[in-house]
Chain A
Amino acid sequence: MHWSLIIYCGLITFLTRFSMIALLKKDTFNKKTKIVLSYVPSAIFPAIIFPLIFLDNNGNLDLENNPKILAAIVAIIVGYLSKNILATIFSGLISYWFIIFFK
């Protein structure tokens, strides 16, 4: 890891935030673009989530005996029902620890 990489990542993060305050006007995006933009979290986060759950440390598909899949299902159900961020995180982590402890 180089400090320069961290600084560039900081700049990109800063500039996207700055552009939204300084450059964009109220009517920059039409209604349809705003609807599409509202899908951005749904489009991006699973690309981070899925590989971390379904792949092992070597990047191979790991579907059998994978405690992460079960724990993620628990977290999804808890999140769906409670709509509570903390409850979702803790239910996932605790069920994961429970499964690896008793395996």
Chain B
Amino acid sequence: MNAKLKIFGKGILDVSPLMIPVVPFGIIFGVIGMELGIGPYMTFGMSIIVFGGASQIVLLQLFSGGASSLVILSSVGAVNSRHLLYGAVLSEHLSGLKLIWKLIISYVLVDQAFAVSNDYFKKNKRNKIKHYHLLATGFTCWTIWQVSTFIGIVLGSIIPEELGLKFAIPITFLALLINDFKKFKNVIVMLVSGLIATLGYNLIPFKAYIIAASLSALLVATLLTNLNKK
């Protein structure tokens, strides 16, 4: 038991620095949920049920724009498709676990937990209880996210709309891309996606601009990858 606690503690320590940007993001989500008139219960319910920053923001954004459920769901799916990338990496370490563990870990597996625990897994391949590390990083993220959403909900009814906190959404997503700004091909893919979404916002029916733009940009990414091969 002590060994498990020790690994759990290490997980909390390892993921802590990454929690700093999560706090403002969670607060912003809570504030925006209130500003859009979703109400405190549903805003908090989203953080509990969905537990994914990007999914939740896309849900709020498209819902307030009047998109249909089908478009909202497929857009959330598109945003989550980045998780498939991690699959090839993580399954190697977790394939021996019982189903219940896989279910619990799937609920708390956010980008930050993945990044930190995957590093730990690589260094401790033979450790039989290494999944406690991921459990710790995941639940640390979960706790911080719920607390900051709650703070945002409380502040949301106080903060005036003129402050334009909605601008925090594009800025937060922009900050998630900073490591790709220096890669020329990534910048092309970003511009394709952004321009199609902006120009297609009114032209593409059913508010499907996020899906249309992402798919077109991925197509360009595929073409760029092929070009590199020749």
Contact = CB atoms under 8 A, between A and B. Distances in A.
Contact of B218 (A43, A61, A76): A43
Interface residues of B, number: 92
A89 B21 contact: yes
Contact of A47 (B172, B202, B217): B217
B209 interface: yes
Q: Provide the main secondary structure of the chain A interface.
A: helix
Given A29-B88, A32-B225, A54-B198, A10 B175 contact: no
Interface string B117-128: 000000000000
Contact of B51 (A12, A13, A86): A13
Interface residues of A, number: 70
Contact of B173 (A12, A48, A82): A48
Interface in B92-109: 92, 94-95, 99, 102-103, 105-107, 109
Contacts of A86: 20-21, 24, 175
A43 B168 contact: no
B96 to A, nearest CB: 11
Interface in A1-57: 1, 3, 5-10, 12-14, 16-29, 32, 34-55
Given A24-B91, A72-B170, A89-B24, A16 B83 contact: yes
Nearest to B79: A44
A90 B98 CA distance: 42
Contact of A39 (B178, B182, B186): B186
Contact of A42 (B21, B180, B222): B180
Nearest to B101: A21
Contacts of A8: 69, 73
A32 B229 CA distance: 10
Contacts of A82: 178
A45 B186 CA distance: 12
B210 to A, nearest CB: 5
A82 B179 CA distance: 10
A45 B221 contact: no
Contact of A59 (B58, B167, B202): B202
B45 A6 contact: yes
Closest 6 pairs between A and B when the two form their complex, measured CB to CB: A20-B87, A50-B194, A24-B87, A46-B194, A39-B221, A43-B217
Interface of B: 20-21, 24, 38, 42, 45-46, 49-52, 54-59, 61, 63, 69, 72-73, 76-88, 90-92, 94-95, 99, 102-103, 105-107, 109, 163-164, 166-182, 185-187, 189-198, 201-202, 209-210, 213-214, 217-218, 220-222, 225, 229
Given A9-B59, A13-B55, 18 more contacts: A5-B63, A6-B59, A12-B77, A21-B94, A21-B106, A23-B91, A35-B225, A39-B218, A41-B82, A43-B217, A44-B82, A46-B191, A47-B214, A51-B209, A79-B174, A86-B20, A93-B171, A100-B164
5 contacts: A22-B106, A44-B217, A47-B214, A55-B201, A89-B24
